[in-house]
Amino acid sequence: MASETANLYDEARNYVGGEWRAPSADGQDVLNPATGEPFATVGFSSAEDVDDAVGIAREAFGTWRNRPIEERIQPLFAFKELLEQHQDELAELLVREHGKTLGEARGELRRGIENVETACGMPTLMQAGHVENAAPGIDETAVRKPLGVFAAVTPFNFPGMIPLWFLPYAVAAGNSFILKPSEQTPLTAQKLFELVEEAGFPDGVVQLVHGSVDTVDAILEHDDVEGISFVGSTPVARTIYEKAAANGKRVQAQGGAKNHVIVSETADLEFAAEKTVGSALACSGERCLANDVVAVEESVYEEFVDLVVAETERQVVGNGLDEATTIGPLITAEHEQRVRNYVETGVQEGADLVVDGRDVTVDGYPDGHFLGPCVFRDVTADMVIATEEIFGPVLGLVPVADVAAGIETMNRSDYGNAASLFTGSGAEARQFRHDAEAGNLAVNAGTAAPMAFFHFGGRKDSFFGDLHAQAEDVVRFYTDETVYIERWPGAE
Ligand code: NAD
């Protein structure tokens, strides 16, 4: 059995105006997915709570935007150090409320810290452009200016990383920022904000409000919120995009996914199988980058199926706090049932379930939300299991004539988040890069996760908006590019 965490929170709180406050409305329990038991509660913030936070943020913005940029990044350096120091504690808390493995939690935090580091480059990132003699005697300059109060609404599956796709950039650019994390994993956000408090941001510049749909609606309807960054499922991303736009706000909304892997007969098949299985099953498949449709060239299909089955059977299902575990529980009993329904659908659709994880049990955790990995072979591109986001440890293998047919199959998807090609051919790699309709593409890598200094892509139903998370895109999202045109009569 896993060790108990010494330092747990009983109740998630808002961080507003430099103070910890209980949200006004009742909320829900925070569950440990490995035990199925509640271990904390999270209240939901009312429209008045949101109004308080936005009012304070708006006031803080007035002073913060006038601080020299070099001063604005100092709390980020402190925040980065604190994140490094508290990484183990954060990882353990994250596992307890989310279920992923400790290694996955540490990896996620590393990717979050990378964003804090990148945002420390804001003095360079905010530079726009200058042209002398744009017209006779006239110089033109573009200046990126902060706009006011921004909010981010984030999902349950990367509670330590996704808030950091936004927070450091928004504030380094001179805005104030409010996070509304997932109500399913609110405690990691709370820990992040204890470090925010210690890092020395002025009160009101960075705030946390817990809540659910009503809280998000209050943010979307508030006149003093300039823009929203959203990450979550496609139906909600679409709604957020529409409501934010209707209310005249900037919006970037990242949605769900159905990612494909294409395996060429020229690929190193053992390597491709290991990376494909890792990518499909990491975080129990609860990843927007999970590659769960695998299109394999017919000439190597049988060999690849055997390699995937062997690799899948090496996985260990258990509590994420146990070091031996490679696949943790799913977030809730309802979600586990939803994924089980997809497995049943796959069987009914006629796909061949060659690894069946439905009967898995984990010693000591009879009420955990566990589902062992499931692998289907002989999946066709039109099956429900090949078209809808499952968000669980389920992988489907589709035989295709060649790489071009694999690309065609993936391009028929409504989603366009990520895709991978395993190949030994430069020509195939180029064709894939040119033709694949997804925002994050990888060649000979299972997970196409861009580093913080590149934006996180996404197309079609996986993204609503034009400027993405991370890097220069998010800097442009959080700033307005004002153009100055200047002439001094008498100057040469
Ligand atoms: P979700 O859409 O249920 O919730 C996301 C956030 O939206 C939460 O904070 C929630 O409180 C809020 N929310 C939920 N319903 C709402 C509504 N009707 N109106 C306003 N706000 C609402 O998503 P989730 O289950 O937490 O996360 C999983 C989903 O997120 C998956 O679809 C996954 O693919 C996607 N995701 C996408 C990316 C990406 O980069 N594209 C990254 C991570 C996760």
pLDDT tens digits, 471-487? 999 999 999 999 999 99
For the beta carbon of residue 154, count every other beta carbon within 10 angstroms. 25
Contact 293, 398 (CB under 8 A): yes
Model pLDDT, residue 344: 98
Architecture of domain 259-443: 3-Layer(aba) Sandwich (3.40)
From 182, 219, 283, 335, mutation site for ligand 1 pocket: most ligand atoms within 8 A of C-beta = 182
What is the number of the ligand 1 atom nearest to the C-alpha of 254? 41
What is the number of the ligand 1 atom nearest to the C-alpha of 288? 34
Kindly give the distance from the C-alpha atom of residue 153 to the centroid of ligand 1, in angstroms, as a whole number. Answer: 8
Give the whole-angstrom CA distance, residue 405 versus residue 262.
9
Ligand 1 site: residues with CB under 6 angstroms?
Answer: 153-158, 180, 182-183, 212-213, 216, 231-233, 236, 239, 254-257, 288, 389, 391, 417, 456, 458, 462
Q: Take atom 10 of ligand 1 and give the residue whose Cα is closest.
A: 182
Model pLDDT, residue 419: 98
Kindly give the distance from the C-alpha atom of residue 246 to the centroid of ligand 1, in angstroms, as a whole number. Answer: 20
Q: Under DSSP, is residue 304 helix (H, G, I), strand (E, B) or coil?
A: helix
Q: Under DSSP, is residue 166 helix (H, G, I), strand (E, B) or coil?
A: coil
Give the whole-angstrom CA distance, residue 184 versus residue 161.
15
- CA angle at 329 for the pair 263 and 357, rounded to the nearest 5°: 55
Give the whole-angstrom CA distance, residue 243 versus residue 246.
5
Q: Was domain 11-255+462-483 assigned CATH 1.10.540.10?
A: no
Catalytic-role residue among 120, 283, 288, 374: 288
Give the whole-angstrom CA distance, residue 53 versus residue 39.
27
Q: Which two tokens stand for residue 223?
A: 């006149």
What is the number of the ligand 1 atom nearest to the C-alpha of 257? 34
Model pLDDT, residue 6: 37
Kindly give the distance from the C-alpha atom of residue 486 to the centroid of ligand 1, in angstroms, as a whole number. Answer: 46
Would strands 176-180 and 206-208 be described as parallel, antiparallel, or unpaired? parallel
Under DSSP, the state recorded for 300 is G
What is the number of the ligand 1 atom nearest to the C-alpha of 155? 26
pLDDT < 50 regions, the chain: 1-7
Contacting residues for 449 by C-beta, under 8 A, at least 6 apart: 111, 289, 418, 440, 456
Give the whole-angstrom CA distance, residue 37 versus residue 34.
8
Tell whether the torsion through CA atoms of 145, 148, 153 and 159 is positive or negative: positive
Model pLDDT, residue 4: 39
Tens of pLDDT along 272-310? 999 999 999 999 999 999 999 999 999 999 999 999 999
Known catalytic residue at 288: yes
Q: Which two tokens stand for residue 336?
A: 């586990």
Burial 211-234 (b: 16+ CB within 10 A, else e): bbeebbbbbbebeebbbbbbbbbb
Contact 101, 192 (CB under 8 A): no
For the chain, which residues make up each domain, given as ranges? 11-255+462-483, 259-443
Kindly give the distance from the C-alpha atom of residue 120 to the centroid of ligand 1, in angstroms, as a whole number. Answer: 28
Closest CA to 249 of 151, 176, 163: 151
Q: Which two tokens stand for residue 168?
A: 């450091």
Q: Take atom 20 of ligand 1 and give the residue whose Cα is closest.
A: 213
